[in-house]
Structure 1
């Protein structure tokens, strides 16, 4: 791209800040109208709640702002790349997206989008597509190089289906071909896809792996969503109601960048809300499995409504009994009783500051966006370095903190 073309792209930044979601909404409507087959690839729940449109608008804006040095966006590109490989996104998909994105810029901006601007954006998009696709090919290569690794979709058998609480059920997934299961980094997720008769579509969803790597199976633990009219509710309810032991589900290889630093010997503080505990449970099991070697102090902080919806409560007690370096703090909206490690109300880190504010500790937070923001800001306010705080927001990233 020429310097003039880069400046043309940057000139659209104010428009993208103000009208980015309108542009991406137009783009998705256009693309699905002309390429309806892509509805099988995209999460239509995130289309309905506008999370995907917002996430794309933020990404396009960030790219336009950094068009002169897109390398600074590599952490974001890496995160998106993991999501794309989990959905089996391939280079040919970028050509389709590019076609409709450039057309949408012209249609939304109208007379403000002259041929020079559209040409600049077409070149900018191709540059981004090359960066993204190239990075994703590296991730695919890493996945297939592992023992038991693969790319794309692979059928797994549901060998066990276990109810963990009033809302959460675990599914134990074994490869249908009897082959090996690739290791993963604790904190990563799987994508699965199932057919939704209500939408007449295959639909993908990401679920965190809730067990430590074991080489035999993966476990996902799914919360039943409260409504069936929303696509997310359709998926979780279908898993809970219709998917039974012995059924096959297509799974993509483990992916994700919210992962445990397995080699750091610093204290670990794991903070979760509701079903947000699932990736942290994988981390906890792995830390305890390696505990005899590392003796890493661990503090587990979890909040949910009550004991009835508290999944893995007994598992946590079991882990605590076998681990002298694990402390826990549980917050219930309505506890049967309060104790030194069981508290009433929402998670309040200030109440347990003496246990969680440890020198050089690493913090991992997972839950709804307001939950993450609250605790991230508390830790920053207490002087915890930003780089020591990792977090995961389920769904397309919309959260900007710190």
Structure 2
């Protein structure tokens, strides 16, 4: 909870600071990564840096957290903090790195706001930062402890034992621990980070859903991002062009706050494109458990030939006594035509819904689910990369 003095200052300065956050975060990343380039080696995604998505997501999270502190002082935005904490854990973020971020962030605030950055204003926003950082540090410490690891120990070598081409642009990789140790447990819907060393020697990490497990083997699916210029798509391209059975990848411990909840209530799984991957993990779990829960699996894609895991998903739904599946394709046969439209579908009001796909898709489907009577608190979404849903709100 903010002190009374800081709360008044933050409330008064939120419009000015929020309006300058894009400039603040742009300078923050420019100076920090300019002076500490080692942070790009395995920690920060340089594709998101180049596109500006990372700074927009950071600005959105800071603004949202500050607003909640002053508007709802007795509450903590656990959902937002959990999402950030899980992503940090998948990358091995450590407590000391919050001190580095603080230094460069507040240098950027002082530079951008100029004379408006009075001692009182800086002190109030410093309190906001450390409340947010402290909550994240505590959450991350708990997640590390639950996994039996520390922030500097999230990475293990995993050997590729199988590669399966799903579509022209997606491939699945089956992995097993290369160090002889057991594979860690994970919750259906969670992901791992995969870190590779690129041609220029820099290591980069990306997150991929765990879509299946058999003994100590785990499976991920990677969609190749075809971009006009690097660094966009550099990791997926590397994996597609260079990774074959026998190769070793560095893989993090499982993480992710969007996981299938237990119980007997109905489940709605709605995805688009490569957003099908966390849903595959959930479907696999439900099928393996012999679940009798009502399950509605919905997927939208460009065409049937672009739909990764299409036949596998159909087979999993067939194993569910109360499972139903619907697909939508923009072109071609094999499903309904056009965008996902829930009109005419029986959406149980007590369902728990999980979404993954492009942001406009998730916004539209979430609105349809809420319109069908599903409470907003029961609609969960997964996004890989910076959470621009929060930044846009």
Structure-1-length-normalised TM-score: 0.91
SS in 2 for 1:66: helix
Rounded to whole Å, the distance in 1 between the matches of 2:254 and 2:231 is 23
Q: Name whichever of 391-400 and 80-89 sits farther off.
A: 391-400
* Residue number in structure 1 paired with 2:129: 125
Q: Is the 8 A contact 1:12 1:64 kept in 2?
A: no
String of CA shifts for 1:220-257, please: whole Å, max 9, x gaps: 10111112623241111110001111111111110011
* Residue number in structure 1 paired with 2:259: 259
* Structure 1 residue 353 corresponds to structure 2 residue 345: yes
* Structure 1 residue 239 corresponds to structure 2 residue 239: yes
* Residue number in structure 1 paired with 2:61: 59
Rounded to whole Å, the distance in 2 between the matches of 1:256 and 1:320 is 24
Distance 1:160 1:107, change over 3 A: same
* Residue number in structure 2 paired with 1:227: 227
CA RMSD of aligned residues (A): 2.2
SS in 1 for 2:192: strand
Rounded to whole Å, the distance in 1 between the matches of 2:231 and 2:331 is 30
* Residue number in structure 1 paired with 2:77: 73
Rounded to whole Å, the distance in 2 between the matches of 1:71 and 1:31 is 32
String of CA shifts for 1:308-363, please: whole Å, max 9, x gaps: 212112212332443332211111222335xxxx212222111x423xx1242221
How far residue 121 of structure 1 moved from its aligned partner, in angstroms, is 2.9
Distance 1:307 1:63, change over 3 A: closer
SS in 2 for 1:231: coil
Q: Name whichever of 227-236 and 200-209 sits farther off.
A: 227-236
Q: Is the 8 A contact 2:286 2:320 kept in 1?
A: no
SS in 2 for 1:358: coil
Match of 2:360 among 351, 370, 373: 370
String of CA shifts for 1:336-395, please: whole Å, max 9, x gaps: 35xxxx212222111x423xx124222111100000011111111222211221111222
Rounded to whole Å, the distance in 2 between the matches of 1:49 and 1:14 is 25
Q: Is the 8 A contact 2:190 2:256 kept in 1?
A: yes
* Structure 1: segments with no counterpart, 5+ residues: none
How far residue 304 of structure 1 moved from its aligned partner, in angstroms, is 1.1
* Residue number in structure 2 paired with 1:387: 377
SS in 1 for 2:253: coil
* Structure 1 residue 105 corresponds to structure 2 residue 109: yes
Rounded to whole Å, the distance in 2 between the matches of 1:184 and 1:305 is 31
* Structure 1 residue 281 corresponds to structure 2 residue 280: yes
Distance 1:349 1:36, change over 3 A: same
Query: Which segments of structure 1 move beyond 4 Å, counting only runs of 4 or more?
Result: none
* Residue number in structure 1 paired with 2:180: 178
How far residue 115 of structure 1 moved from its aligned partner, in angstroms, is 2.6
Match of 1:315 among 292, 302, 312: 312
Q: Is the 8 A contact 1:274 1:367 kept in 2?
A: yes
* Residue number in structure 1 paired with 2:32: 31
String of CA shifts for 1:104-150, please: whole Å, max 9, x gaps: 110000011123322333343233322221221111001117xxxx9
* Structure 2: segments with no counterpart, 5+ residues: none
